[in-house]
């Protein structure tokens, strides 16, 4: 026998908490965006979400302790921003050995760079190459560096075609984007391959 689930009445306290926090949320978001305005868009959104989560955790602690009179958006946001900058994430303990942790990056003096980020100087996206399964980290890093240098040596149009082909776009798709025939793109693919082989030979000689 399967018993039907009885709908539960919402907890009045939870409704009160949610309603009050939602009134504070716009100012919290505004302060977080201002604090992380120099970060890339995607990273800024992630840091803002961390600030909101931190504010909610502190908000609930204050409300549970009957300190509602001390709940204001600005102090909550400023405290949360300091916590996030220090690498303190809600539900994520600080780990100096975790390379993804902002706390570890700050303590150990390193940073992570995305290879698919937008290059503001060159006004283009730096694409990630498809890795071979038998390639080690050093080989993969070298090929990415060589590939980027090779692209810089190409004329504008072949370079843009090479970038599209490198991310897995089909010959037909690339042909439509550049208003060329599929045969011409296939020919350019072979020419790019020969050019790449020559470049690799020159790089190995150096």
Q: Give me the phi and psi of 114, to 5 degrees please.
A: -80, 135
Element holding 47 (H helix, E strand):
helix 41-64
Q: Mean pLDDT of all residues in the chain? A: 77
The pLDDT of residue 63 is 92
The 10s digit of each residue's pLDDT in 155-165 is: 888 888 888 88
- Whole-model pTM? 0.47
Looking up tokens 């283009």 gives: 124
Report which of residues 106 and 176 the model is more confident about: 176
The domain segmentation of the chain, as residue ranges, is 12-108, 118-205
Higher pLDDT, 124 or 196: 196
Top-confidence residue, 174 or 132: 174
For 10-32, the pLDDT digits (tens) are: 678 888 899 999 999 999 999 99
Beta-carbon-side half-sphere exposure of residue 143 (alpha carbons within 13 Å): 15
Q: Give pLDDT tens digits for 28-79.
A: 999 999 999 988 887 889 889 999 999 999 999 999 999 988 899 999 999 9
Residue 118's beta-bridge partner residues?
A: 125
| pLDDT at site 173 | 85
CA–CA gap between residue 170 and residue 165 (Å, rounded) = 7
pLDDT of residue 156: 87
Computed on alpha carbons and rounded to an integer, the radius of gyration of the chain in Å comes to 26
Cα separation, 73 vs 153, whole angstroms: 53
Q: Write out pLDDT tens, residues 121-136.
A: 544 545 444 444 455 5
């Amino acid at each position: 026998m399967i018993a039907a689930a009885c709908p539960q009445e919402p907890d009045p306290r939870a409704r009160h908490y949610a309603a009050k926090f939602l009134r504070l949320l716009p100012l919290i978001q505004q302060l977080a965006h201002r604090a992380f305005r120099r970060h890339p868009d995607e990273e800024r959104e992630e840091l803002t979400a961390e600030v909101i989560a931190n504010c909610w955790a502190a908000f609930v602690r204050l409300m549970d302790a009957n300190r509602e009179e001390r709940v204001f958006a600005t102090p909550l946001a400023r405290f949360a921003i300091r916590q996030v900058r220090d690498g303190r994430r809600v539900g994520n303990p600080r780990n100096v050995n975790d390379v993804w942790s902002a706390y570890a990056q700050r303590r150990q003096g390193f940073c992570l760079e995305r290879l698919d980020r937008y290059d503001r100087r060159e006004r283009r996206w730096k694409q990630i190459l498809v890795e071979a399964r038998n390639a080690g980290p050093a080989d993969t890093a070298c090929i990415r560096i060589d590939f980027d240098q090779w692209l810089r040596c190409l004329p504008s149009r072949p370079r843009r075609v090479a970038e599209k082909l490198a991310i897995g776009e089909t010959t037909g798709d690339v042909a439509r984007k550049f208003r060329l025939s599929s045969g011409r793109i296939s020919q350019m693919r072979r020419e790019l391959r020969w050019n790449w082989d020559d470049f690799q030979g020159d790089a190995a000689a150096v």
